[in-house]
Amino acid sequence: MTSTPSPEPAKRQGPLSGLRVLDIATVVAAPSAAALLADYGAEVLKIELPGAGDGCRNFPPFKDGKPLWWKVTNRNKKLISLDLRKPQGMALFKQLLPRFDVLIENFRPGTLDRWGLDRDTLWALQPRLVILRATAFGQTGPYRDRAGFTRIFEAMGGLTYITGEADGEPMHAGYPIGDSIGGLFGALGVMTALWKRARDPQAPGEEIDLSLTEAMLKLMEFLPIKQALLGESHGRSGNTSQYSAPTGVYPTRDGQWVSLSGSTDALFAANCRAIGREDLIGDPRYAGNRERCARTVELNALYRQWFAEHDLADVLERFERHEGTLAPIYSARQIVEDAQVKARGFLRDVPDRDFGTVPIQDVVPRFHHDPGAVYSSGGAVGEHNDEIYGEWLGLTPEDRAALRTQGVI
């Protein structure tokens, strides 16, 4: 195993220690927000429907029938099962809620209201509750009731249109990056609301309306301003950057791949030295980034030819020696074997009920005085039912058995 042992649960720490988060969301984006908070010490309790649980449990990859993605996205969480649609389930939920600072949900707008959990009811139970509502398009607008999945966020948020070859079809990435971006904005929104609470002990609760499509568009930075002021829709350019040259993805002689970048004059000079073409540095045709961008095709062709004549090890040695801006394009195997990843201990051996331990990425970013930790992988449906319903709410074993029989937990 290439990863670093994770701290024992008894050693949990982090700047969010003492914060309690109730995660009733499903699949990836909103649960990712909860997991990020858990990384920094928040106590996260996830609620799933009894039986099959969260739909994320059916997402590949699998090993021995066990979902691996689930184990990462729901790390560091306690898991209980509860059917909020049943009166007894709703009663138990209302007993739990006052113990929490944050509620995270991603049902379609109005769903919780129809179940009798509108925001006024939630705030009556916990007046300082921060409510994160993550949906495809937000709580308002003509699309508010539409279902949402990551490819919708990416397609309508602008990312897919600009990804792919210039003369090819728009492309999605091989990973649902829209969900991950939504999770980051969700965690940021929660922490922003909590900062206000920390400053003002009398501050009321907050409701956060997170549109996952808007989160995607937010990262597109200059797309709207380019359209508005230049009348141009930013298009596709494959692996060739439209704002820096030379840039691209190139094969080496031994069949490996590298990615080249470098927009400043100093970096361009370093890259030229790496391939033995110092003569390009003083050439007025390449004097600045604007001039180089106008000659992208010829510069990329020059670098492509050079990479095709050299093996990866030679390429990396030359660029490191001359401080050029180039990186090998890693597969997952190369990532876990990389010296930097190992030296930083970024992959942690996390305890797992199915496989003993599993490697999971450590916390990002790292704090010096009060770091967070990843201490458990996502577990089984209702794994902590006895602890939460027994120790927290005082239900007897007989009570719990009856609720299980009735499908409430």
Residues labelled catalytic: 179
SS3 content of the chain, % helix, strand, coil (to 5): 40, 15, 45
Question: What are the residues whose beta carbons fall under 8 Å from the beta carbon of 376, sequence distance 6 or more?
Answer: 9, 75, 76, 77, 350, 351, 352
The size of the chain, in residues, is 409
Distance CA 183, CA 58 (A): 20
- CB-side neighbour CA atoms (13 Å) of 348: 21
CB 19 within 8 A of CB 41: yes
CB 113 within 8 A of CB 139: no
What b/e string do you get for 246-278 counting C-beta neighbours within 10 Å, with b at 16 or more? bbbebebeeebbbebbbbeeebbbbbbbbbeee
- Start-to-end CA distance of the chain, whole Å, equals 37
User: Residue 21 forms beta bridges with which residues?
Assistant: 44, 102
Provide the residue type at 408 as one letter: V
Question: What are the residues whose beta carbons fall under 8 Å from the beta carbon of 245, sequence distance 6 or more?
Answer: 289, 292, 293, 295, 296, 299, 300
CA distances from 12 to 78, 141, 207, 348 (A): 14, 42, 29, 14
**Which alpha helices (H) appear in 247-361, and where do they start and end?**
265-274, 289-294, 296-308, 312-321, 332-337, 339-344
Provide the residue type at 324 as one letter: G
